[in-house]
Structure 1
Amino acid sequence: MTTRRERWERHTQAPLIGLSVLFAVAYAVPVLAPGAPEWVLGGAAWAEWAVWAAFALDYATRLVLAEDRWQFVRRSPLDLASVLLPLVQPLRLLRLVSTLLLAGQRVRMASQVRLTTYVAGVVMGLLVFGSLAVLEIERASPTATIRTLEDALWWSFTTMTTVGYGDLTPTTGLGRLLAVALMLSGIALLGVVTANIAAWFVSRFEAEDRIDHLNHRAIQDLTAEVRELRRQVAELQQQTEPGGQAEHVPSA
């Protein structure tokens, strides 16, 4: 039997994922078009806060509907931290981090989303939003080497894969902090992908071992049946041979 909280989570799954897409657009607009009209930039900022507020309201509602509220808080500390993070200091980067974490949590909870799809989505999200974030942070610095979206995408890719050619590097403290986060995320995702591939190979080997074991057992059973049949045939032959101990029924 599903609880009220589970029903709420199921009904709000798709709307919140749709709002996370709206947040992605609202975050990208000021970065890609900083010279846009003021009403466009203001609308994007309001959209970011509105999406974050929707996720915060969702967390509060799930907390109220939870049967054991303290247990709910203990099991989802990252959700609570993501809700409170933008209130500490209203930076766009903090709103980005918190909304990505909250949206990722809801996507991960969807039963139709497989691990491979989830990991691929996380990789693409980190690549795109990491590029937008470092571009917004770095291009205002006079010593910046990352000034275009192409440079930012290249830097994010080499950073997440821990290659780090060094041709493009962040020069600000916040940019370097972002680089550390991307490197750690890349290492973690690489570990997840490697573990997933290893688990797939192990499952295949175990399946083949089970098939071999079943085949071996079937061969043993079949051999035993053949031996039993041969024994029975030998007994029948012995009984029907002349001089054997076959029992003759007298004729009428």
Structure 2
Amino acid sequence: MTNRYRRHNELMIRIGLGGVDDEENPRAILWGKRLEWPMLLLAIWIILDWYLKAKGLSDPFFTQFTDWFIWTCFSAELSIMLALVDDRWRYLRQNWLNPIIILTGIPVLFGVDLFYSGVLRSLRLLIMLGILLKVSQDLRQILSRHHLGKTMAIAFLFLVISGFLISGIDPAFKGPLDGIWWAWVTMTTVGYGDLVPSTTEGRLFGMLLILAGIALFSMLTASFSVFFIERDEKEMVEKEDRNIQRIGQLEARLDRIEHHLARAVTTLERLEALEARERSPRQSEKADPSQKPSEPE
């Protein structure tokens, strides 16, 4: 585990969103990863709910339905993970924010107006930011693997979230469409200037969005560059593999030819040896004329 990954996990544990520990069983780790993306969709729902409440567009029935839906999702995730993990106390200790939201949200669900109702909704926004931080490790892995489609989808998701946030923070934006348009031209560092934040909070958010846009589009540019470079390298590697295969075939043919030549040379040497043996007695007889055949008596 690298130092960066360790620091990331320590930060998530401190804010109560540590997730599943690496020492847990494989099934719990697998389900922890599977539940990250549904919880990310829940984070988008929390942003939409926060925007509607900030603009006064939600009715009491929708507010109650949203509270029950969010509470049910948090309860379901906690129940599933507690049933799968081996060390439940460690999981609760590393994810202490989820039980707090579930327990403090029970009176609110039944219409009890308590002093911490607004704090509870702020905690939901904190949960949303935590979920985004939680999948940041997956985001880095995706970018490192150059999956351009997923990278573009994540960039678009970040763009939509930023549009909703700025439209709820700054009164200069009439609706989410204005916020999304402003987020688009801000992240791309184009800056038409037709929509400008009028509050200090909006300007601070714009500064952060500019930095995020520079970093994001730099990574996209690098990913596109690496994509085309890898594609060219892949073609070169395929050509080299074909050439290596042909060279291997030629070497195999040369080996077979050399083997046949070696056998032919061995056969010729044996034939020459046999001929030499046959010629040697004849030559010895011709070389000793004193030996004559005996005459009959």
How high is the TM-score relative to the length of structure 2?
0.54
The residue identity in structure 2 corresponding to 1:119 is T
Residue equivalent to 2:49: 26
- Distance in 1 between the 2:235 and 2:254 partners? 28
- Aligned positions of 1:111-150 closer than 5 A: 115-139=147-171, 144=172, 146-150=173-177
Deviations 1:18-73 (A, max 9, x none): 53353244234335x63443x25754884698489669969x97xx9679x6xx97
| Contiguous gaps of at least 5 residues in structure 2 | 1-23, 101-115, 276-297
Deviation, structure 1 residue 102: 0.6
- Distance in 1 between the 2:165 and 2:69 partners? 14
The residue identity in structure 2 corresponding to 1:183 is I
The residue identity in structure 2 corresponding to 1:176 is R
The residue identity in structure 1 corresponding to 2:216 is L
- Distance in 1 between the 2:192 and 2:129 partners? 27
- Aligned positions of 1:77-116 closer than 5 A: 90=119, 95-96=124-125, 98-103=127-132, 105-106=134-135, 115-116=147-148
Deviation, structure 1 residue 158: 0.3
Question: Identity of aligned pairs, percent?
Answer: 23
1:2 and 2:34 are equivalent in the alignment: no
1:170 aligned counterpart, secondary structure: coil
Deviations 1:130-159 (A, max 9, x none): 1122122221xxxx3x33443322211100
Q: Could you say which structure has the larger radius of gyration?
A: 2
Alignment RMSD, CA only? 4.9
- Aligned positions of 1:117-196 closer than 5 A: 117-139=149-171, 144=172, 146-196=173-223
- Distance in 1 between the 2:259 and 2:26 partners? 64
The residue identity in structure 2 corresponding to 1:105 is K
- Distance in 2 between the 1:222 and 1:121 partners? 47
Deviation, structure 1 residue 161: 0.8
**Contact 1:30 1:36 (8 Å CA) reproduced:** yes
Deviation, structure 1 residue 97: 6.1
Deviation, structure 1 residue 100: 4.1
| Contiguous gaps of at least 5 residues in structure 1 | 74-78
The residue identity in structure 2 corresponding to 1:34 is G
- Distance in 1 between the 2:27 and 2:265 partners? 77
Structure 2 vs 1, CA of residues 231 and 246 (structure 1 numbering), >3 Å: closer, same or farther?
farther
**Equivalent of residue 202 in structure 1, options 219, 229, 232:** 229
- Distance in 1 between the 2:123 and 2:150 partners? 22
The residue identity in structure 2 corresponding to 1:158 is V
**Contact 1:162 1:183 (8 Å CA) reproduced:** yes
Structure 2 vs 1, CA of residues 137 and 192 (structure 1 numbering), >3 Å: closer, same or farther?
same
- Distance in 1 between the 2:76 and 2:208 partners? 23
- Say how many residue pairs are matched: 227
Q: Which has the higher contact order (CA 8 A, sep 6+)?
A: 2
Residue equivalent to 1:215: 242
- Distance in 2 between the 1:26 and 1:167 partners? 27
- Distance in 2 between the 1:237 and 1:222 partners? 22
How high is the TM-score relative to the length of structure 1?
0.61
Residue equivalent to 2:292: none
- Distance in 1 between the 2:192 and 2:260 partners? 79
Deviation, structure 1 residue 162: 1.1
- Distance in 1 between the 2:263 and 2:78 partners? 84
- Distance in 2 between the 1:127 and 1:47 partners? 28
The residue identity in structure 1 corresponding to 2:250 is T
- Distance in 1 between the 2:152 and 2:72 partners? 23
